[in-house]
Structure formats: C-alpha cells, structure tokens
Amino acid sequence: MNLKYLIASLLFQLSINASYFVQLKKPATLDKLLTSDDQIEAENHIRPFVKQIFSFGSFEGFSGNFTKDIIKRLFSSPYVADIVPDYTVRINDYETETNLPVFLDYETDFNSPRHLARLSRHSKLPSNQSVNYYYDPKYKGENVNAYIIDTGIYKEHPEFEGRAISGADFTFEGPGDFNGHGTHVAGIIGSRTFGVAKDVTLVEVKALDRLGQGSLTTVIAALEFAVNHRKENNVSGVVNLSLGAIKNNILNQAISVAVSSGLVVVVAAGNANIDSCLVSPASAPEAITVGAIDDRTDSIAGFSNWGACVDIFASGVLVQSLNNQDINKPTILSGTSMSSPSITGLTSILLQQGITAANIQPKLIEMSTNDIINSKSLATKPLTPNRVAFNSVFKSDDLYPLEEDIDKYNFRKILQS
C-alpha cells in the first residue's frame, strides 16, 4: 500500500473532528483547492473548517479541525503535498535546580557563568575555580534580531536593558512569559550578565503557552512572522527554537523556506537521549542543531540527543540565566534548550561581523574545538560530531590546560591560530 494512503487510513481511525496541518505543493493554490472543493457534492466542505492560513516564500499551507471525509478528499487532491496531525510541540528543558549557588555579580564578566566561559575557551574548564568570559566588545550582536520562538519573554527585566521587544503572540495568552522558559532562553542569548550577545535585539515570538506547549500551527505561524518581520525591517536575523516534536516533514520544510529567506535557524537537539534525526526540528537539514554537553566533564549530557543531525555542542547542564518572576534570583536549568541559545547568541555576533546567513553554519564548525568531548560519552552515539562551540576570542589563560587534558589536544594549534 502507498505510504500516503496508509497514513490516511490511520488518520481515519481518529475522532470525527481532529486538528490537522495541510501543506500545499505550490504557492497560490489554496484558492484553487477551496474553489474546486466547493463545487463538489459533499456533506462537509473544506472552507468552513480552515482556521489558519500560512504563506511565506515557497511554503503554503493551512490548518483546521477537519472531518474524516474532508481528510480523505485532501489526501487525494493534486494540490496537497502532505497532511499531518497538528502535533503538540514542547519546550526542551530537562530539569530545574533551585538549591544551587548562583552568581549574583551583575557588574563584570569576571567569575562569569560557566556556559559563557566554555564558549570562549578551547580547553576544559576548571571545576573548582573562577572562570572568565572573553568576547570582542566591538561585536555584541548590535543591529541583529534574535527571534525567540518560545513561551514569551519577561521583557521588562533590567538585564535586557530595553532590548527585548514584542513581536507576536500565537497562544492567545497575551504578551509576557508565564512559564519562565522563554525568559531563561532569551537571557542566555542576550542578557547583560548571562548573555552571549549583549547588544542583540530580542524579539518575543510567543508560540508556547504557560505549560510550555504549542502546536505545529503556532510554531509555523511564529516562523512566518519572523520571516516577514526580518524582511520588513531589513535586518540580519536568527531564530531560536528550543522546542521539539515528533519528526515531520512539514515543520522541516517550513524551516527550509525560512532559511532560504535569509534567516538563520538554530534548534535544540532534544532531550530523549536518542538520534536527533528522529525528531523535529532537530532533523531539519537547513537548521543548525545543537546538542548539550556537561561543561564540568566535557561529556555529552546524559539527556541530550545525538547523531549525524547534530551540528555542534554547547553547555546545557545547570545553566544559569534569568528568572521570569524575580529579577534578583537567577534560575538554573538543564537541557538542549539551554545549549541552543548559546549558539543563537554566537550567531548574532557573526551576523554583526558580516558573515552571511548561508555561511554561519560552516563558520561555526570552522571555529569550533574538535576532539574535546569525552570519548566514553560518544561510544554509543554513532555519527555524532566531536565538536564544541568556540567564539575564537583567544586569551592567555587558555594556554594552560588542565594537566590531564594535555595529551588530548594539540595546544600548539592554539598558539598558531
């Protein structure tokens, strides 16, 4: 049996009305589809059930609650490329730690959060002494938009210094962050103390609700907004997707179109300790997929997805960032949701430096530290790259690696770089 019709037969076993996402083969064909359907004799027509329409670049689709007879007709339509349930999409955090010490110094990058220090260092971080974050003060993401497709942002937090702005809300909750995940992610990207790119503009694009859940419809609507907003404002832009769902071609295709429009799309690999090629958006070929390491050991985090679809790793265990409820108390979270925004911040810096969107992924790989991840943590993860993000800002304390790491890395390369 044709796979398309096998899927259709399974969908028919669902309830009378269910929510689906329909992708069309070509742009500007929705009117043709609806008009042709209006002309047939049927108990239910498509048009009244369409809730939301999407059209950006070469991507066109719609979603709604459709009856079984409508779904059957859609599967046989020459205008339809794909139909999937309107999958639930969830945040990719793993755990919360609340009884751990945090850094409360908002004045300097000395004694910085570990995820920042790891980003600006080739060698392994010391586990029992202070660490510093090194960056070029000329490049902090100025005039770049980072679109945080998440649970919202506590935009009034003083750490954002007025750089967090409202974009769009597809949850109908209204602006703001009632979960905390989006604020934490935005803080890693661009807050004053915890942020990689300290001058980037943070655009709130709310696709996930207070429970950290959304749908294929809300996420693709958010992508459509980001594509159009970047074009209208004529700025460089990067999207952060710290979320995940079952693998589906429609979301992956929407990301492909967003990238072809000039956006960079950075996504979390996921937290199920499985091959990242089995989930979306981590499996999207045009996305930059980020896995998580534990920067205390430089091992792949036990929860992190892995495999050939991962492009790069960054700190994702016990990562400090902003609290959406208390401006004086940072929050510590773990997950690939926390590693992805480090790369989004670094991408913002590269865009400001003039690296084109198409060249960001190869540039990140070129800059990265290779063969530094603990080999034991890679042993059962085939095709996983041994690659940790590095911002290429070289400082002298990186010349003195931990003694146990001297044989693992040729530090002469650092001197020559």
In this predicted model, which residue has the larger pLDDT, 409 or 230? 230
**Band of pLDDT at residue 256, cut at 50, 70 and 90:** very high
**Band of pLDDT at residue 111, cut at 50, 70 and 90:** confident
**Identity (one letter) of the amino acid at 257?**
V
Do 212 and 235 fall within a single domain? yes
- pLDDT of the residue at 126: 86
For residues 408 and 373, give the distance between their C-alpha atoms in angstroms, rounded to a whole number: 10
How is residue 122 written in tokens?
């080739």
- 311 part of a folded domain: yes
The CATH number for 40's domain is 3.30.70.80
Do 168 and 61 fall within a single domain? no
In this predicted model, which residue has the larger pLDDT, 396 or 122? 122
Looking at the predicted structure, is the pLDDT value of residue 367 above 50?
yes
Is residue 150 part of the annotated active site? The answer reads yes
Number of domains in the chain: 2
Identify the active-site residue in 115, 181, 184, 229.
181
Looking at the predicted structure, is the pLDDT value of residue 108 above 50?
no
Do 68 and 136 fall within a single domain? no
- 113 part of a folded domain: yes
Do 328 and 387 fall within a single domain? yes
Is residue 377 part of the annotated active site? The answer reads no
For residues 66 and 42, give the distance between their C-alpha atoms in angstroms, rounded to a whole number: 13
Looking at the predicted structure, is the pLDDT value of residue 4 above 80?
no
- 412 part of a folded domain: no
Q: Tell me the CA distances in angstroms from 201 to 104, 142, 161, 341, one per residue in order.
A: 23, 7, 10, 14
**Band of pLDDT at residue 233, cut at 50, 70 and 90:** very high
Looking at the predicted structure, is the pLDDT value of residue 363 above 70?
yes
Looking at the predicted structure, is the pLDDT value of residue 103 above 90?
no
Do 320 and 343 fall within a single domain? yes
Do 39 and 174 fall within a single domain? no
**Band of pLDDT at residue 94, cut at 50, 70 and 90:** low
Q: Which residues fall within 8 angstroms of residue 255, CB to CB, at 6 or more apart?
A: 223, 265, 267, 281, 284, 286, 287
Looking at the predicted structure, is the pLDDT value of residue 386 above 80?
yes
Do 349 and 386 fall within a single domain? yes
- Maximum Cα interatomic distance, the chain, rounded to a whole number of Å: 78
- 20 part of a folded domain: yes
Q: List, for residues 138-170, the tens digit of each pLDDT value.
A: 999 999 999 999 999 999 999 999 999 999 999
Looking at the predicted structure, is the pLDDT value of residue 239 above 70?
yes
Give the residue from 47, 38, 44 showing the smallest Cα distance to 17: 44
Identify the active-site residue in 280, 337, 339, 340.
337
In this predicted model, which residue has the larger pLDDT, 323 or 111? 323
Q: List, for residues 173-213, the tens digit of each pLDDT value.
A: 999 999 999 999 999 999 999 999 999 999 999 999 999 99
- pLDDT of the residue at 339: 99
- pLDDT of the residue at 128: 67
The CATH number for 204's domain is 3.40.50.200
Do 348 and 383 fall within a single domain? yes
- pLDDT of the residue at 28: 79
**Please, are residues 152 and 214 in contact by the beta-carbon 8 Å criterion?**
no
Q: Domain end: 62, 86, 110, which one?
A: 86
Do 138 and 186 fall within a single domain? yes
Beta-sheet pairing, 59-67 with 17-24: antiparallel
Q: What percent of the chain has pLDDT over 70?
A: 85
**Please, are residues 279 and 298 in contact by the beta-carbon 8 Å criterion?**
no
Do 64 and 96 fall within a single domain? no
Return the number of other C-beta atoms located less than 10 Å from residue 199's C-beta: 19
Looking at the predicted structure, is the pLDDT value of residue 2 above 60?
no
- 166 part of a folded domain: yes
Q: How does the average pLDDT of the chain come out, rounded?
A: 89
- pLDDT of the residue at 415: 35
For residues 399 and 394, give the distance between their C-alpha atoms in angstroms, rounded to a whole number: 9
Print the domain residue range for 41.
3-86
Do 64 and 131 fall within a single domain? no
Do 375 and 309 fall within a single domain? yes
Give the residue from 256, 251, 280 showing the smallest Cα distance to 267: 280
- 404 part of a folded domain: no
- 407 part of a folded domain: no
pTM higher than 0.85: yes
- 248 part of a folded domain: yes
Identify the active-site residue in 37, 86, 93, 150.
150
